[in-house]
Amino acid sequence: MSDNSYVDTSYSSASIDALRERIAQAVNDVRKQTPLAQSFTNFVTINLVANAQLAAGGTAAMSFLPDDIVDTAEIAGSNYINVGTLLPFYKEALPQIAYKLHKNGKTWVLDPVAAGIGKTRTAILESFRTYPPTIVRGNASEIIALDAMWGLAASDSAAPGTRPAGVEAVDEVDAAIEAARRMARHLAKHSPSGKGAVAVSGAVDLVTDGEHTFRLPGGSAMMTKITGAGCSLGGVTATYLAVAEPLVAAVSASLLYNRASEIAERESNGPGSFQVALLDALWNVTAEQVATSEIIED
């Protein structure tokens, strides 16, 4: 970094080294501090989310009741909301929870699963615009859909041909870069710390705080053959958010997942054993393996 760099917005190699230190610190701090990240998440993958948070070194608590969540948020380091499976009462509960988390200065991660599908999901996701999460983690299609829903895109720059795609992405990560950057800036404006981040998952993950954008290659295509790889990554991102700032938390969790899934692929023999091996690898991967990962600034 240069001497007059107090407004520096580029990551020199020295800053990437500083980022690596903070990533190693986040991985170690989670393992030392066992922070609680609370989840309101879908019931397809709820068990994998809790187990992945434990394997990363944190602890888990799942809840669906607004007053319970608001009280638990007082003892949790961070929170996670995932809109994968919806029940009628969520339409009232989730906007209320987002408002209370905001009012109480609590950080949270949103996984906007299947954004763009169904009036109820759209109403819930739209309501988060005013009281947004600290981090949004989703696949490219979900980030593009949420950006459009929040009206963050200039009307002429909306990605043409983008459509909702169920819980799987139909868009490449690159198509979501501008949406992700705009969204990160929106999150930062409303965040308790003035900082926010967006993580777009795919073959090469992309993480941005609106100013800096990093590509994180690697991982395993076997991640798409188990359900909940993305959901549990969201939960683990919340675990890291309990000990680190949003950009560091999002990068650390994505790198942890990439390194762990590479180990799991080598040690497994199909989706069933892959899921088990992934939990083992989340537990065993070292802070150094995570922090020395390839990080490409865009």
Ligand X SMILES: Nc1ncnc2c1ncn2[C@@H]1O[C@H](COP(=O)(O)OP(=O)(O)OP(=O)(O)O)[C@@H](O)[C@H]1O
Residues that bind Mg ion (CB under 5 A): 113, 230
282 binds ligand X (CB under 6 A): no
Residues 198-237, one symbol each (x = binds ligand TZE by CB under 6 A, - = not), give: -----------------------------xx-xx------
Least distance to ligand TZE from the beta carbon of 155, Å?
30
167 binds ligand TZE (CB under 6 A): yes
Locus of tokens 């599908």:
117
CB 282 within 8 A of CB 57: no
Which of ligand TZE, ligand X, Mg ion, none does residue 85 bind (CB under 5 to 8 Å by kind)? ligand TZE
Which of ligand TZE, ligand X, Mg ion, none does residue 296 bind (CB under 5 to 8 Å by kind)? none
DSSP string, the chain: --TT-TT--S--HHHHHHHHHHHHHHHHHHHHH--EEEEE--SSSHHHHHHHHHHHT-EEEE---HHHHHHHHTT-SEEEEE-SS--TTHHHHHHHHHHHHHHTT--EEEE-TTTTSSHHHHHHHHHTTTS--SEEEEEHHHHHHHHHHTT-S-GGGSPTT---BTBS--S-GGGGHHHHHHHHHHHHHHSTTS--EEEEESSSEEEE-SS-EEEE----GGGGGSTTHHHHHHHHHHHHHTTS-HHHHHHHHHHHHHHHHHHHHHH-SSHHHHHHHHHHHHHH--HHHHHTS--EE-
Residues 250-279, one symbol each (x = binds ligand X by CB under 6 A, - = not), give: -------xx---------------------
233 binds ligand X (CB under 6 A): yes
Of all residues in the shown chain, the one whose CB is closest to ligand TZE is 84
Binding test (CB under 6 A) with ligand TZE, winner from 45, 213, 237, 254: 45
Known binding residue 194? Answer is no
Known binding residue 20? Answer is no
Which of Mg ion, ligand X, ligand TZE, none does residue 229 bind (CB under 5 to 8 Å by kind)? ligand X
Binding test (CB under 6 A) with ligand X, winner from 201, 208, 237, 239: 201
CB 82 within 8 A of CB 232: no
Q: How far is CA 189 from CA 132, 200, 210, in A?
A: 9, 20, 11
231 binds ligand X (CB under 6 A): yes
42 binds ligand X (CB under 6 A): no
Least distance to ligand X from the beta carbon of 182, Å?
20
Binding test (CB under 6 A) with ligand X, winner from 9, 221, 269, 270: 221
Which of ligand X, Mg ion, ligand TZE, none does residue 42 bind (CB under 5 to 8 Å by kind)? ligand TZE
Least distance to Mg ion from the beta carbon of 230, Å?
3
Query: Known binding site for ATP: residues?
Result: 137, 201
